[in-house]
Chains A and B, each alone.
Chain A
Amino acid sequence: MSLATAIRDKDVAKLPGKRDEEWRWTDLRGLIRILPEPSASFAGDVGDGPFDALADDRRMLVNGGEALIDLPADSKATVALRFVSRGAGSHAAGVTITLGSNARLRLLESYESDGGSVTQASLTIVLADGAAVERIVLAQDHEDAVSVSQAAVRLAPKAEYGQTVVTSGARRQRLETRVIHPGGHASLRLDGVYLLAGKRHSDQTTVVNHESTDGATVQLTKGVVRDQARGVFQGRIVVAEGADRTDARMGHHALILSDRAEVDAKPELEIYADDVACAHGNTVGALDEDALFYARQRGMPEADARALLTEAFIGEVIDRMWFDGARDVVRAWAAERLRG
């Protein structure tokens, strides 16, 4: 059951839907009655990507395709990886990324669609001992697009992996990350921001499997939904038997700014080891009316006050990004959406 298989086989029966527990809030089966024709190849100008100026290696997959990024041991790279969709066809893309020991990668990934395309991107990211990755995902999809991105990440001892997924949603969108965490003093940060308006939907799903001792995971996702938008957060952390001294913390907090907007959240900790420190927190609520009045009493018009407070709310996540340049891009992108 996956969108990629359904696209390959042109068979809507293979789409995941609400009967699949993991997809119950992101029903593709019920949404897509007929899969669009395969996307034609596109040779026109697609303009600059959001992170082009920051990267020393630029990769672009337009209407599908495959790419391989291989960093030898001890090397360093900042790669802009663009998944571009033009038109309203269907296609899948695949990227494999490997890092040798102590290699360092900044992966600046973007999703850019311009219509009602149906797309799947699959990434495999494998780190060797002591390697470090910061993956920043900016999903700026079209409101008619159906977009699924699934990343499978495998860490190694002493590896460091940080991720921030930032999205404005799509007609239906799933941004999924699955991490195999071997412990061994590897550290993992999985953060997310969703800013949804109109009838947009976005689903951030993460699964972390702590397989052995001494692993750390921190996770913070924040969302702001307005109009009739719908945000979904599913976070699961599994700590295997014997994976002692695992330290895992998960937080998800959302602001709902209109009566018809919706947030569905499912944080799960499955712990089979004895000696662990695990915690999760989840809140969904409205903007603090008292704080809003306070800001207005100081002279800020209501819209400005709301923007300031919501920017501050998600700013906590953006501040956690490591790469200054990308942080500035993301902050500006978010501010524009919150003020718009």
Chain B
Amino acid sequence: MMLNVQNLHASVDGKEILKGLTLEVPAGEVHAIMGPNGAGKSTLSYVLTGRDGYEVTAGSATLDGEDLLALAPDERAARGVFLSFQYPLEIPGVPALTFIRTALNAQRKARGEVEITAPEFLKLARTKSAELKIDFDMLKRALNVGFSGGEKKRMEILQMAMLSPRFLILDETDSGLDIDALRIVSDGVNALRSPERGMLVITHYQRLLDYIKPDRVHVLSGGRIVASGGPELAHELEREGYERYEKAA
């Protein structure tokens, strides 16, 4: 099993948010996590990526059998865990190109690989930005500073494409996107689907799943997975809402 989360309990400021979450994502599959506001969706993404302030009190999370929870955030990144943030951060003073190259080389170094050369990096950046319809000059500007919501999300997908992670977590990637941006972003994500990669798509709405088609859909409510099914589950949720599952939780 690629991502294997068993009975995960996690707290923020002493308040338990995840209450025994179990989830398995095999390589090659895209799983969607859907749930009402406050269900613990973002907490799950932060616990898996190691953000400070999220305390795991019980349970386990492994990637290809390796204990993720024992690793620092950058070590998890070097092993291929990538989070597309719901609210991407602005990094004043650091051009996007510099930021991404620094990240890429840090990951390569951690894996014992050689650094990417400047020409190789620029070529990669040009190719991927063209695919995502991002103006290359934008990459010379400070990362995300003054970018629109849609531009920031496209920047997340660009970083994802360039860092080429093995396990992708998309946290509310569709929020703030118009229909054209949604299609571009989805194309970018779908291009990364492969038998070696796993993906967790966290979303409140079913809309994104019309573009990024999941193999499995899980309902997260009250800090646990309360239902799982095929893609049809997303449509059912869209029709009937989360109320039934909130009661179940």
Chain A residues in contact with chain B, CB under 8 A? 288-291, 293-302, 304-305, 308-309, 311-313, 315-316
CB-based contact A298/B77 at 8 Å = yes
CB-based contact B106/A300 at 8 Å = yes
Tell me whether B138 is interfacial, beta carbon within 8 Å.
Answer: no
A311 vs chain B, min Cβ distance (A): 8
Knowing A297-B77, A299-B106, A299-B107 are in contact, say whether A309-B94 is a contact too (CB < 8 A).
Answer: yes
CB-based contact B103/A299 at 8 Å = yes
The contact sample of 27 A-B pairs, CB cut-off 8 A, is A289-B52, A291-B90, A291-B91, A295-B91, A295-B99, A295-B103, A296-B50, A296-B72, A296-B74, A296-B77, A297-B50, A297-B74, A298-B99, A299-B78, A299-B104, A299-B163, A300-B103, A301-B72, A301-B74, A302-B74, A304-B102, A308-B94, A308-B99, A309-B91, A312-B91, A312-B94, A313-B93
How long is the Cα–Cα vector from A290 to B87 in the complex, in angstroms? 10
Q: A293-B52, A299-B107, A312-B94 are in contact. List 8 more A-B contacts (CB 8 A).
A: A294-B91, A298-B163, A308-B94, A309-B91, A312-B91, A312-B92, A312-B93, A312-B142
Closest 10 CB pairs of A and B: A312-B93, A298-B103, A299-B107, A299-B77, A296-B73, A294-B89, A299-B106, A312-B94, A299-B103, A296-B74
Select the residue from A290, A295, A297, A316 with max chain B CB neighbours within 10 A. Answer: A297
Knowing A291-B91, A304-B102 are in contact, say whether A297-B163 is a contact too (CB < 8 A).
Answer: no
Nearest CB in chain B to that of A296: its residue? B73
A279 vs chain B, min Cβ distance (A): 19
Q: Provide the residues of chain A in CB contact with B142, threshold 8 Å.
A: 312
CB-based contact A301/B93 at 8 Å = no
Q: Which of B65-124 contact A (CB under 8 A)?
A: 72-74, 76-78, 82-83, 85, 88-94, 99-100, 102-104, 106-107, 110
Q: Provide the residues of chain B in CB contact with A288, threshold 8 Å.
A: 89
Q: Mark B49-70, 1 if CB is under 8 A from A, else 0.
A: 1111000000000000000000
How long is the Cα–Cα vector from A298 to B104 in the complex, in angstroms? 8
How long is the Cα–Cα vector from A311 to B98 in the complex, in angstroms? 12
Chain B residues in contact with chain A, CB under 8 A? 49-52, 72-74, 76-78, 82-83, 85, 88-94, 99-100, 102-104, 106-107, 110, 142, 159, 163
How long is the Cα–Cα vector from A305 to B83 in the complex, in angstroms? 17
CB-based contact B73/A293 at 8 Å = yes
CB-based contact B94/A300 at 8 Å = no
CB-based contact B110/A299 at 8 Å = yes
Nearest CB in chain B to that of A304: its residue? B106
Q: Provide the residues of chain B in CB contact with A304, threshold 8 Å.
A: 102, 106
Nearest CB in chain A to that of B104: its residue? A299
Q: Provide the residues of chain A in CB contact with B50, threshold 8 Å.
A: 296-297
Contact for A301 among B49, B51, B94, B106, CB less than 8 A: B106
CB-based contact B103/A316 at 8 Å = no
How long is the Cα–Cα vector from A133 to B175 in the complex, in angstroms? 51
B141 vs chain A, min Cβ distance (A): 13
How long is the Cα–Cα vector from A291 to B94 in the complex, in angstroms? 11
How long is the Cα–Cα vector from A309 to B89 in the complex, in angstroms? 12
Nearest CB in chain B to that of A294: its residue? B89
Q: Provide the residues of chain A in CB contact with B77, threshold 8 Å.
A: 296-299
Knowing A290-B89, A312-B91, A312-B92 are in contact, say whether A297-B106 is a contact too (CB < 8 A).
Answer: no
A46 vs chain B, min Cβ distance (A): 35
How long is the Cα–Cα vector from A305 to B88 in the complex, in angstroms? 16
How long is the Cα–Cα vector from A305 to B159 in the complex, in angstroms? 16
Contact for A308 among B85, B88, B102, B159, CB less than 8 A: B102
How long is the Cα–Cα vector from A290 to B46 in the complex, in angstroms? 12
A32 vs chain B, min Cβ distance (A): 39
Q: Provide the residues of chain A in CB contact with B106, threshold 8 Å.
A: 298-301, 304
Q: Provide the residues of chain A in CB contact with B52, threshold 8 Å.
A: 289, 293
How long is the Cα–Cα vector from A122 to B237 in the complex, in angstroms? 76
Nearest CB in chain A to that of B88: its residue? A294
A168 vs chain B, min Cβ distance (A): 20
CB-based contact B85/A294 at 8 Å = yes
B186 vs chain A, min Cβ distance (A): 22
Q: Provide the residues of chain B in CB contact with A291, threshold 8 Å.
A: 89-91
How long is the Cα–Cα vector from A302 to B73 in the complex, in angstroms? 9
B95 vs chain A, min Cβ distance (A): 9
Q: Provide the residues of chain A in CB contact with B51, threshold 8 Å.
A: 293, 297
How long is the Cα–Cα vector from A316 to B92 in the complex, in angstroms? 9
Q: Provide the residues of chain A in CB contact with B91, threshold 8 Å.
A: 291, 294-295, 309, 312
How long is the Cα–Cα vector from A311 to B110 in the complex, in angstroms? 22
CB-based contact B92/A297 at 8 Å = no
Nearest CB in chain B to that of A293: its residue? B51
How long is the Cα–Cα vector from A252 to B73 in the complex, in angstroms? 32
B99 vs chain A, min Cβ distance (A): 7
Q: Provide the residues of chain A in CB contact with B88, threshold 8 Å.
A: 294
CB-based contact B102/A297 at 8 Å = no
Nearest CB in chain B to that of A316: its residue? B93
How long is the Cα–Cα vector from A127 to B88 in the complex, in angstroms? 49
How long is the Cα–Cα vector from A163 to B103 in the complex, in angstroms? 34
Select the residue from A290, A298, A312, A313 with max chain B CB neighbours within 10 A. Answer: A298
Knowing A294-B85, A294-B88, A316-B93 are in contact, say whether A300-B49 is a contact too (CB < 8 A).
Answer: no
